[in-house]
Amino acid sequence: MFIRLIYYGTAHLNRREEEVWLMPLGYLLDLWECHKQFTGIAQPKKEVSIDDVIPTWL
């Protein structure tokens, strides 16, 4: 598992190996998910617009 995460961090996210080892796991997984969505490998679970977040009465 960690070998694959190191590979993702170094090859796909353009980070140094030392930087990937010292990165919090949640941050690395968030970066990987953003990379997958950006390249079209994965789709976001839910599309939200600003109108959905801020009520109209504000």
- Residue pLDDT, tens place only, 4-58: 888 999 998 999 999 999 999 899 999 998 899 889 998 878 888 888 888 877 7
Separation in Å, CA 13 to CA 1, 26, 43: 17, 15, 18
Q: In this predicted structure, what is the pLDDT of residue 3?
A: 86
Nearest residue to 30 via CA among 14, 1, 16, 9: 9
Q: In this predicted structure, what is the pLDDT of residue 27?
A: 92
Q: In this predicted structure, what is the pLDDT of residue 11?
A: 92
Neighbours of 28 (CB within 10 A): 19
Full-model pTM: 0.65
Q: In this predicted structure, what is the pLDDT of residue 49?
A: 87
